[in-house]
């Protein structure tokens, strides 16, 4: 079943992508939830026209995302956390904590666009994360978890 996505769907595609899914997934989940519509020939024509008109605006958004990516690359993020024996943390550091640290640095990025490589951080040290600013622009950010004193 071919569908046109109306919004980003995790592990499937981005808004305005034409995707092929199993019939049950499309009929029972995507269409009723409003995540997608059937990809009829007329809907495909409307989509191509909309994409053509939106191409210029999209380029400006991509350029803005690239400038933000350059600013984020230069940041040195240190996240303080309570530490137990050795270098083991009480709790963990995840994308929510990284989002809060970026907000303190002046960049308001939603937590769902931040992925900490390796999952939750449970020890002190340097770690990597990927921040998706746009479907075409993502930036690798290195951050450090330090002891809260």
Q: Please report the pLDDT score of residue 44 as a whole number.
A: 94
Q: How many CB atoms lie within 10 A of CB 97?
A: 22
Give the model confidence (pLDDT) of 68-81 as tens digits: 889 888 888 999 99
Q: Where in the chain is the domain with CATH 3.10.430.100?
A: 76-147
Residue 110, helix vs strand vs coil: coil
Give the model confidence (pLDDT) of 92-137 as tens digits: 898 899 999 999 988 888 888 899 998 888 999 999 999 998 888 8
Collect all residues with Cβ–Cβ distance below 8 Å to 67 and sequence separation of at least 6. none
Q: Where in the chain is the domain with CATH 3.40.5.10?
A: 2-68
Q: Please report the pLDDT score of residue 135 as a whole number.
A: 82
Residue 47, helix vs strand vs coil: helix
Give the model confidence (pLDDT) of 15-67 as tens digits: 889 999 999 999 999 999 999 999 999 999 999 998 888 888 888 888 888 99
Q: Give pTM, 2 decimals.
A: 0.65
CA angle 111, 116, 121 (to 5 degrees): 110
Domain 76-147 falls in which CATH fold? Ribosomal Protein L9; domain 2 (3.10.430)
The domain over range 2-68 is classified in CATH as 3.40.50.300: no
């Amino acid at each position: 079943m071919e569908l046109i996505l109306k919004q980003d769907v995790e592990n499937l595609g981005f808004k305005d992508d034409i995707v092929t899914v199993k019939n049950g997934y499309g009929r029972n989940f995507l269409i009723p939830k409003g995540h997608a519509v059937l990809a009829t020939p007329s809907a495909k024509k409307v989509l191509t026209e909309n994409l053509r008109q939106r191409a210029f605006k999209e380029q400006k958004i991509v350029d803005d995302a690239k400038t933000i990516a350059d600013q984020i690359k230069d940041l040195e993020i240190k996240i303080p956390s309570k530490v137990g024996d050795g270098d083991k943390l009480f709790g963990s550091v995840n994308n929510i904590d990284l989002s809060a640290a970026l907000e303190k640095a002046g960049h308001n990025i939603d937590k769902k666009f931040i992925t900490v490589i390796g999952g939750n951080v449970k020890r002190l040290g340097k770690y990597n994360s990927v921040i998706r600013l746009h479907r075409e622009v993502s930036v690798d950010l290195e951050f450090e978890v330090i002891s809260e004193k």
